[in-house]
Amino acid sequence: MSRMGRVGAETSAGWRSFVRRRTAVFFTFFFPVILIVIFGALIRTDPTGEGLFTEPAAYYVPGYLAVVVLFTPLSRMGSEVARHREGSRFEKLATTPLTRGEWLLAQTAVNAAIIGLASLLILGLVVLLTGAEIAFSPLLVPYILVGVVCFCGVGAMLGSYTDSQDGAVAASNAIGLPLLFLSETFISLSQLPGWFGPLVNLSPLTYFARGVRAAT
């Protein structure tokens, strides 16, 4: 089997493994929908007021996208690596022609496909439910792909450091939640203390949010 054939076969297996897990499908596709309905359609933004949602609706598009671009690779890749370690699956894969790089590429491709579909759903609902005025730019696709690759790498490292799938998910949540709200996604830099600004610039999600905001 050629390299492309091996990557394609592993990608197909990874996709089927994902769709069989109803909990993973729910949190990937419907959890962001719940956030949009609660914060975007029910609470709504108040650009003239004070509080959390003081920017126009379009400002929060990177935040909604970050829910899947950040959490899906961290939790899914982390738990997948931890699951393979627990079941000694990497040792079994080592007896096949599939290399570590090909396995990682296949898992990244699965995450990219999942997040791409979820992003389309999120953008459509944001426009429909919040009335956000979004300018779709071709740059949006590379920003999402780079974000997926970046956080797949972080998720793979978490899976290699933790002892179990539960530990990988817990570690991804512990890292993901602060990044989600402190990376110029839902909270603007002006709402944070001045001393915290340099820390915001250390987050890779900050640059994803700025890029998506500029593209949309």
Q: How far apart are CA 25 and CA 215, in angstroms?
A: 28
Give the residue from 105, 125, 123 showing the smallest Cα distance to 113: 105
The more confident residue out of 35 and 141 is: 141
Q: Which amino acid is at 172?
A: S
At residue 41, the pLDDT reads 67
- Indicate the pLDDT class of residue 55, thresholds 50, 70 and 90: confident
The more confident residue out of 54 and 208 is: 208
The more confident residue out of 81 and 47 is: 81
- What's the whole-model pTM score? 0.86
Distances 13 to 18, 62, 69, 96, 132 between C-alpha atoms, Å: 9, 30, 21, 15, 37
Note whether 47 and 125 are within 8 A (CB).
no
Q: How far apart are CA 26 and CA 21, in angstroms?
A: 9
- Indicate the pLDDT class of residue 105, thresholds 50, 70 and 90: very high
At residue 104, the pLDDT reads 93
At residue 26, the pLDDT reads 83
Burial string for 56-75 (b: 16+ CB within 10 Å, else e) reads: ebbbbbbbbbbbbbbbbbbb
What angle (nearest 5°) sits at the alpha carbon of residue 172, between those of residues 35 and 198? 85
At residue 111, the pLDDT reads 93
- Indicate the pLDDT class of residue 196, thresholds 50, 70 and 90: confident
Q: How far apart are CA 1 and CA 7, in angstroms?
A: 10
Encode pLDDT of 147-192 as tens digits: 999 999 999 999 999 888 888 888 998 999 999 888 988 888 888 8
Enter the tokens of residue 66. Answer: 């970050």
At residue 186, the pLDDT reads 85
